[in-house]
Structure 1
Amino acid sequence: MIALLGIRRIGKTSVLKVLANEVDGVYLDMRGLVKRDDMYMRVADAMSSNIAKMKKLPRG
């Protein structure tokens, strides 16, 4: 998990999206989350919509 912090409008989201594509990762936008269950649902949705990428990940 990576958290990238910085001032507004310097390209944080763009950098993370490029990184996610380069390493077959998944980008999750966690803004607006109120409850822990909302976070779980967002993670589950991202995983299911990116299942092809996740199959390429090494197993440990």
Structure 2
Amino acid sequence: MKQTTINCVHPSFDDTLKEEELDSEWLSLICKAKEMGISLTEIKEYLLNPGTIIRKDR
């Protein structure tokens, strides 16, 4: 399986995902979340448990 690193504006975004798991809409949402300080792990946790509340102190 081919893997790719997603490069967003957010400098701490260095997660690697399988290319076939992504499309442009998901990539856009992931990049926006990273800009807000939400990690890929938090995104995955939310998708597995939709009742989870992601809070970020600003």
After TM superposition, is the score higher than 0.5?
no
Whichever structure has more strand as a proportion of its residues is 2
Whichever structure has more helix as a proportion of its residues is 1
Q: Quick check: which has more Rg, 1 or 2?
A: 1
Taking structure 1 as the reference length, the TM-score comes to 0.29
Taking structure 2 as the reference length, the TM-score comes to 0.30
